[in-house]
Structure 1
Amino acid sequence: MQYHMPSRLYFGPGQIQELSTLITAKNPVLVTDKGVVKAGLAAPVLDQLGKMPVFDSIEANPKSDTINKIAGELRQQKPDLVIGLGGGSPLDAGKALALLATNPGNIQDYEGKEKYAVDPLPFVAIPTTCGTGSEVTWVAVITDVDRRFKMSIKGPKLYPTVSIVDPDLIATLPAPMIAATGLDALTHAVEAYLAKPATLITDTHAVKAVGLILGSIEKAFADIRNNARHREDLMYGSMVAGLAFGNADVTAVHCISESIGALYDIPHGVANAMFLPHVLDYNLPVCTRKMAALARTTGIDAVSDDQAAKMFIQKIKDLSKALQIPTFRDLDIGSDQFPLIADMSFKNNSNASNPRDLGQADYRNILEAALGA
């Protein structure tokens, strides 16, 4: 059993104000998105570290052509540090750009595990949503626009050098973003617990994360600004979920969500929330005991494991509805697209980690179930 997480991690309200004591780079760059800048969240970074190049063109489901364009500019500027500020998209983009700043070619050349010849630049991760987990993982997910496929770029040198997780940064997060990113974090935790590569260490993190997220997300959704304790618990749960899946894996939920995200640009957290209960339904026959364990840690009192597990799945369905997550039907994706989505999901690197074997026909059945829900 092995566990690896080399990032220096700083967690707590107000932690962003300590940034200047943690960063000594002479020529940093900031990677973010326009929404983060507009919300004023880049100001604490720039106020403390001074003027620096800001790349704020990162979109949801960051695109390979965006990454490659920025990489060309970075190679001319020769920074010594990349700072990622935002949700999963800017953080993953920051990792990819830290890699391309020291290595030639395009990001498509580095799909897979440890394809870089030169160590990436040091990377600082500052999440501003409660769902990414990218601040404690070694993976960057980038959409290859030519293939309409989400690539995973992996390597131990892609772990952030420093991660600053400050719950105050999500105090102004809109309710729909709390719902989507919070349920994304819940998906990370549940999938890590059920994945084939799960270990005792990742299970401990996953169970802790599930409890934190389910215990805080509804109060945070209702009023995150004035609910400091639940805001902190939700951010902590998101981070701990990252510690879990970063050393275990995700499962079929991500296989599907990454496929429809690449094809239709659906926000990642929304897609995960849509499909989590339907994949749990599929996996129930081989995961009854572990699902029941999760159910009981969240206060579900049932005599049989089967009943507890089914009540846990229903709890997630009810929660998604309460948090106003759209249904798969709302996306208006025709069933004629299911063979393509199923094929892409089957080819996803995490398919083998699902606790129950899935073929293309199984993915099509899950899509049909989600469409009819």
Structure 2
Amino acid sequence: MTDNFLFQTVPHCVFGEGAVAELAAHLKGEGLTRIAVVTDKGLVATGVVATVGAALRSAGLEPLVFDSIVADPPEEIVITMAEAVRDFGADAVVGLGGGSPMDSAKVIAVLAGPKPQPLAEMYGVGNVTAPRLPLYMVPTTAGTGSEVTPIAILTTGETTKAGIVSPRLYADGAFLDPALTIGLPAHITASTGLDAMVHAIESYTGRLKKNPMSDMLAKEALRLLTGNLVRACHHGDDMVAREAMLRGSMIAGQAFANSPVGAVHALAYPLGGIFHVPHGLSNALVMPHVLRFNLDAAAPLYAELADALHLNAPDGEIAKAEAFIGYLEQLSIDSGAPQRLRDIDIPEDSLDRLADDAMLQERLLINNPREMTRDAAREVYDAAW
């Protein structure tokens, strides 16, 4: 950990029931009227989009819904939607949904802005130079933390995913209403919740930008998420559990936005790119195996997290770290999430290709506490299979 650090986050966050009404009032107060709501058809079917649209219209705003976003959004869809948002004459963009709509909304706000920048120039770290439209986030899952991160992940080819990381992608405001997560199915609650836990853990163990602010947030996020995941999965209408999960997801997002994630995410991305496994589930499936690989370098930090969660673990860093990993594995089982790659029909003969593709995620691998080689990645996939 270095003495000097930079910590950034979204400047305006509103949390609690009724946050959508606060969003409408905020947009009106900012003089914004033509609102592009970026979402997906699945969320439209739940009625959530209609609820948000009604709140915006009741404040005298003019929302138009753009619902073509799909999981692991391809570049073509994002570019096409940005053109439609520009044609609408939007003066603000609202990302409504899980990680895919929110990530897409960030990029669309740039592409539909006053001086559009070619998408190909944006990939990587710090490469967004164009101004964007005012941008606001309304998450409907408790997992990605995308509402408070400067990161957007898009599908760039048949099977590859790439990230855009820039302070310009921080939204102007995040409005988090736990009531919007009440209808979330148990399997999505499980995978997104486990994803948020990975954000907290990898932030806490990051090699490059670990800092006191992110550490504090990561510990609190992990406490909230581990303490409420199973309850939220099996009692989905429990507002206390839903509030805790959404809050934990948000602050885990703030943590990893400043102390980035590592090899769990690097090995998860090919599962999404090649087999279209939802991102949270991809993380959950490889998480315990990457953590065990990291033990040689990260055991003291995993032991600290075990202490923070007050786990009943034997003395000694290794024993505590192993107890921590075992605890996470049991939480995953109790949540009902699939446990093996074979459980979701990933063929064993694909593991070499997965390992090859994981090695392309240099932005993430460089932050892992232990160097992840191609052979080691293959062994992790084998253990996960």
Alpha-carbon offset, residue 335 of structure 1: 3.5
2:178 alignment partner AA: P
State how many pairs are aligned: 369
Equivalent runs, 1:2-151 vs 2, <5 Å: 2-24=6-28, 25-50=32-57, 51-102=62-113, 103-104=115-116, 107-146=119-158, 148-151=159-162
Give the deviation of 1:119 after TM superposition.
1.0
Match of 1:219 in 2: 231
In the TM superposition, 1:1-373 aligns within 5 A as 1-24=5-28, 25-50=32-57, 51-102=62-113, 103-104=115-116, 107-146=119-158, 148-196=159-207, 197-225=209-237, 227-301=238-312, 302-326=314-338, 327-348=340-361, 349-371=363-385
Pairwise CA RMSD: 1.4
Cα-to-partner distance string for 1:297-356 (whole Å, 9 max, x where unaligned):
222122122111111111111111111211211233334322322122122111100000
Q: CA deviation at 1:105?
A: 6.2
Task: For 1:47, give the aligned amino acid.
Answer: A
Identity rate, percent = 35
Once the 2 structures are TM-superposed, how far is the Cα of residue 99 of structure 1 from its aligned partner? 1.2
Separation (CA, whole Å) in 2 of partners of 1:306 and 1:232: 33
SS at match of 1:85: strand
Cα shift at 1:275 = 0.8
Between stretches 125-134 and 297-306, larger displacement belongs to 297-306
Alpha-carbon offset, residue 106 of structure 1: 5.1
> Is the contact made by 2:10 and 2:173 (CA closer than 8 Å) also made in structure 1?
no
Distance of aligned partners of 1:6 and 1:228 in 2 relative to their CA distance in 1, 3 Å threshold: closer
For structure 2, the residue ranges without an aligned partner over 5 or more in a row are none
SS at 2:48 equivalent: coil
| Cα distance between partner residues in 1 of 2:10 and 2:140 | 21
SS across alignment from 1:30: strand
TM-score normalised to structure 2 length: 0.92
Q: In 2, Cα distance between the equivalents of 1:271 and 1:315?
A: 19
Quick check: 2:27–2:33 contact (8 Å CA) kept in 1? Answer: no
Q: 1:72-102 deviations in whole A, cap 9, x for unaligned?
A: 2223223111101000111001111111112
Question: Is contact 2:70-2:100 (8 Å) kept?
Answer: yes
Q: Identify which range, 40-49 or 281-290, moves more after superposition.
A: 40-49
CA contact (8 A) 1:64 1:108 kept: no
* Cα distance, 1:200 vs structure 2: 1.3
Contact residue 20 and residue 55 of structure 2 kept, 8 A: no
The aligned amino acid for 2:20 is I
- TM-superposed deviation, 1:283: 0.3
8 Å contact from structure 1 (residues 19, 45) kept in 2? no
Q: Which runs of 5+ in 1 are unaligned?
A: none
One-letter identity of the residue aligned with 2:154: I
Q: Which amino acid aligns with 1:160?
A: A
